């Protein structure tokens, strides 16, 4: 791993100064390589699938592992999209003259070497590599051992793409051992790795955060709330409450808890409960909600801090917006929380006082996403406050340095 | 320490939503408290000085420890300056409409709880507390055990300032034990502390970075370079080379290595060497520099990576700008590096390719400073790439969250 790290550090200097045209050409050459190698990719993936079936992986795991023709196409589309994104590297902003006569501003620059640790989905290999490359970073990718054959075959396409434009292979390195010690090494080499982005289940991310000696951009839970205020337009509230919960269940920006102002609970709750019932969503309510909703079961304390990722919803009636904010700041995972209200002053306070990476007024939590926010792509959604918060696009994989222009200026 | 952490977390919610006016009033009330308590502060400081003399602290340490009337005045001035700075909290930028119809932007928000660990200078207590308060953060301050009496007395003034405007005491907490285990606890409470800012010697900072379980904004070495290109205006080069080295020796943004293009070395080096000699600066040169400068001693490999913080300068003749960039990217601590050149295209390349937190053209490295950059104040200079790079002002103590406005928008 040390050698991989040293190679990455060396390659990071080359990719950091590669032009936008060269980086885009490498991405498009990778598209060609994937198209040319699609049979080989499918064959390699078949080895992983076979091994997975033999070792008793469940259907969901096998599904995530599979490189179907549709997924190959999505991979290719993704590469083209990243090539089309504006290059963040080198952007200079806010150059201004200071009283001393010097001119100071900031220039966006790559972070250096990024380590990505992920689970079985092999498409992450291409996605992560393309975002790192476009943002001028070298990367070391460590996928799940279940997808090792697929990842090796994908890595070869990536190397072909890099070679086509004369970039060194080591700009993208895939850890080809399934030895778990490799992860331990990768996250403890601050000399060679500038940041780790883990993608996967909470267990993986907690383990990595605990042991890392390098900064980690991480995403833990998505315990998202929608608060329906008594000054809400209840049609909007209904649309948002239904969309935030039922648009997709297994995603981090789905609502897990619905908070409703006591003054509208008797009207609003039965109305949405009927829709939830039709969609098969189980409701777990506070005592007041259970009174209003015979079909609800009593929520336990644990429910308020559970990310169901399933057709289950906690429901709580609150006295007012302050109680809603208090509940959110206590139980939210600081991912995404929304209020539905037409009240301007309350909106202003909700925005200021809810401490989450995305705070929304009159919109569904499902919008918390790099594509929906116009970032073009995302490497993940950060629930940290340091460096990158919320959906992380290309900018999140860069830093800014100061640039100073003078004309022989010295400090007095 | 857990109790301190819990108190800080609770207080962080209050200070996060305090208005600019309330925060400024707290800072100015602290000024009044310090003025009223100046005798008590001096007496408390005398206890520390006496204990320091008894335990054999050297003169430099005792000097840093002393709260002279001039330093009390500087403290007061600092508080007034921070009160006068614009409030970063709540700034919303880049709100834009996306194709879905939602409007997305970013709002600047406090980090939460900041732990500051520093050595003996008691004025850091006020400086750090004021920056954290203005940026809407609660802080836990852990100063050196040598300054414990001074810090306790200062903490009391800070509490008086907070109380005067009805803010809770726990917005600023000073660790009142000198037990070293307190530091270990402070840096391993991710639930209660969002970021650690260590200020002090390299040993302290390395120890903290190694053991921390919380993000650290840190400043390691300042091994800064000035490269004099063959297309430099040698008058500017002379002014900068002399200023960067001799303006102050013991500071992190002083030049430690001078790199000179071979085509101008024979003219430039003897010229500046005469001035260095007059100022008592010892020169340690590469073989070529030693040929040109009889007074220079031979530099060892170690010299290139040494932060002298003293009237000593390494000098190296390089073949061209590429060799200079290569040397800088190998030996620089990525703090501040400057080129002197009139060549536009080289300036463009130097800016892009030197990977340091401040990169300068035709200006002295001594400008790398929060005040000189117009930040108004600085909590330190970060040599990290994550979150904050270079001088860290109020913005560096904040984060940005996404804000989303809709009108009942749901995701399709």
Give residue-wise pLDDT tens across range B301-360: 999 999 999 999 999 999 999 999 999 999 999 999 999 999 999 999 999 999 999 999
Smallest CA-to-CA distance from A244 within A352, A368, A372 is with: A368
What are the residues whose beta carbons fall under 8 Å from the beta carbon of B286, sequence distance 6 or more? B299, B315, B316, B317
Beta bridge mates, A359: A337, B403
What residues in B contact A239, CB-CB < 8 Å? 408, 410
* Helix or strand (DSSP H, E) at A336: strand A336-340
Rounded to whole angstroms, the Cα distance separating B77 from B62 reads 23
Give the pLDDT confidence score for residue B179 in this predicted structure: 81
Option in A210, A362, A399 nearest B408 (CB): A362
What residues in A contact B218, CB-CB < 8 Å? none
What residues in A contact B111, CB-CB < 8 Å? 385-386
Q: Which CATH number is B2-217+388-405 given?
A: 3.40.605.10
Give the pLDDT confidence score for residue B391 in this predicted structure: 94
Give the pLDDT confidence score for residue B350 in this predicted structure: 97
Rounded to whole angstroms, the Cα distance separating B44 from B150 reads 5
Whether B402 sits inside 8 A of A359 (CB atoms) is: yes
Rounded to whole angstroms, the Cα distance separating A12 from A110 reads 9
Closest CA–CA distance from residue B366 to any residue of chain A (Å): 6
What residues in B contact A396, CB-CB < 8 Å? none
How sure is the predictor about A378, in pLDDT bands with cuts at 50, 70 and 90?
Answer: confident
Q: What is the ipTM of this complex?
A: 0.92
Residues in chain B predicted with pLDDT less than 70, given as ranges, are none
Closest CA–CA distance from residue B8 to any residue of chain A (Å): 15
* Mutation for B interface: A91, A112, A325, A406, most B CBs within 10 A: A406
Question: Which chain A residue has its CA at the smallest distance from B95's CA?
Answer: A373
Give the pLDDT confidence score for residue A153 in this predicted structure: 95
Q: Which segments of chain A belong to CATH 3.40.309.10?
A: 224-367
Question: Which chain B residue has its CA at the smallest distance from A407's CA?
Answer: B362
What are the residues whose beta carbons fall under 8 Å from the beta carbon of A107, sequence distance 6 or more? A90, A91, A92, A400, A401, A402, A403, B351, B352, B359
Residues A19-47 pLDDT 10s:
999 999 999 999 999 999 999 999 999 99
Closest CA–CA distance from residue A83 to any residue of chain B (Å): 21
Asked if residue A379 lies in contact with residue A393, where contact means CB atoms within 8 angstroms, the answer is yes
What residues in B contact A361, CB-CB < 8 Å? 403-406
The conformation of residue A86, written as its DSSP 8-state character, comes to P
Closest CA–CA distance from residue A249 to any residue of chain B (Å): 13
Position A364 pLDDT exceeds 80: yes
Determine if residue A112 is left, alpha or beta; phi over 0 gives left, psi from -120 to 50 gives alpha, anything else beta: left
Q: Which segments of chain A belong to CATH 3.40.605.10?
A: 2-217+387-405
Residues A304-318 pLDDT 10s:
999 999 999 999 999
Asked if residue B338 lies in contact with residue B225, where contact means CB atoms within 8 angstroms, the answer is yes
Rounded to whole angstroms, the Cα distance separating A360 from A88 reads 27
Closest CA–CA distance from residue A362 to any residue of chain B (Å): 5
What residues in B contact A391, CB-CB < 8 Å? 402
Option in A109, A351, A373 nearest B98 (CB): A373
Rounded to whole angstroms, the Cα distance separating B226 from B332 reads 11
What residues in A contact B373, CB-CB < 8 Å? 98, 104, 402
Whether A405 sits inside 8 A of B357 (CB atoms) is: no
Is 3.30.70.3040 the CATH classification of the domain at A224-367? no
In percent, how much of chain A has pLDDT > 90?
85
Option in A100, A353, A363 nearest B17 (CB): A353
Measured from the Cβ of residue B10, the count of other Cβ atoms closer than 10 Å reads: 15
Q: Which segments of chain B belong to CATH 3.40.605.10?
A: 2-217+388-405
User: Among 3.30.70.3170, 3.30.70.20, 3.40.605.10, 1.10.3720.10, what is the CATH number of A2-217+387-405?
Assistant: 3.40.605.10
Option in A17, A363, A389 nearest B352 (CB): A17
Closest CA–CA distance from residue A45 to any residue of chain B (Å): 32
Six token digits for residue A91: 């952007």
Option in B242, B373, B402 nearest A373 (CB): B402
How sure is the predictor about A377, in pLDDT bands with cuts at 50, 70 and 90?
Answer: confident
Give the pLDDT confidence score for residue A203 in this predicted structure: 87
Q: β-pairing, B398-409 with B103-110?
A: antiparallel
Whether B399 sits inside 8 A of A409 (CB atoms) is: no
Q: Model pTM?
A: 0.91
């Amino acid at each position: 791993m040390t050698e991989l790290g040293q190679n990455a550090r060396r390659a990071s200097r080359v990719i950091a100064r590669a032009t936008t045209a060269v980086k885009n050409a490498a991405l498009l050459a990778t598209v060609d390589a994937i198209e040319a190698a699609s049979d080989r990719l499918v064959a390699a993936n078949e080895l992983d699938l076979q091994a997975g079936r033999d070792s008793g992986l469940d259907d969901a795991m096998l599904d995530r592992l599979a490189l179907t023709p549709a997924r190959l196409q999505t991979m290719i589309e993704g590469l083209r999209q990243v090539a089309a994104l504006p290059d963040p590297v080198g952007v200079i902003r806010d150059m201004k003259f200071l009283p001393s006569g010097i001119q100071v501003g900031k220039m966006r620059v790559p972070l250096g070497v990024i380590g990505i640790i992920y689970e079985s989905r092999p498409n992450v290999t291409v996605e992560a590599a393309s975002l790192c490359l476009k943002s001028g970073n070298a990367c070391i990718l460590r996928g799940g051992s279940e997808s090792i054959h697929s990842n090796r075959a994908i890595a070869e396409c990536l190397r072909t793409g890099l070679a086509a434009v004369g970039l060194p292979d080591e700009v993208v390195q895939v850890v080809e051992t399934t030895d778990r010690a490799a992860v331990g090494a990768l996250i403890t080499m601050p000399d060679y790795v500038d940041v780790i982005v883990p993608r996967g289940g909470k267990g993986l991310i907690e383990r990595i955060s605990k042991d890392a000696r390098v900064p980690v951009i991480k995403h833990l839970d998505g315990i998202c709330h929608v608060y329906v205020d008594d000054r809400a337009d209840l049609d909007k509230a209904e649309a948002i409450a239904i969309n935030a919960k039922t648009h997709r269940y297994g995603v981090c920006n789905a609502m897990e808890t619905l908070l409703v102002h006591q003054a509208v609970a008797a009207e609003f709750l039965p109305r949405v409960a009927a829709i939830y019932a039709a969609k098969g969503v189980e409701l777990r309510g506070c005592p007041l909600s259970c009174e209003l909703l015979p079909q609800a079961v009593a929520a336990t304390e644990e429910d308020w801090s559970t990310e169901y990722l399933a057709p289950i919803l906690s429901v709580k009636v609150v006295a007012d917006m302050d109680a809603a904010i208090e509940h959110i700041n206590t139980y939210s995972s600081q991912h995404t929380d929304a209020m539905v209200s037409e009240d301007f002053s309350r909106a202003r306070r909700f925005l200021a006082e809810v401490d989450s990476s995305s705070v929304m007024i009159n919109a569904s939590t499902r919008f918390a996403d790099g594509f929906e926010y116009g970032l073009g792509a995302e490497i993940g959604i950060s629930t940290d406050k340091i460096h990158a918060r919320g959906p992380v696009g290309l900018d999140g994989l860069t830093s800014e340095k100061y640039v100073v222009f003078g004309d022989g200026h010295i400090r007095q």
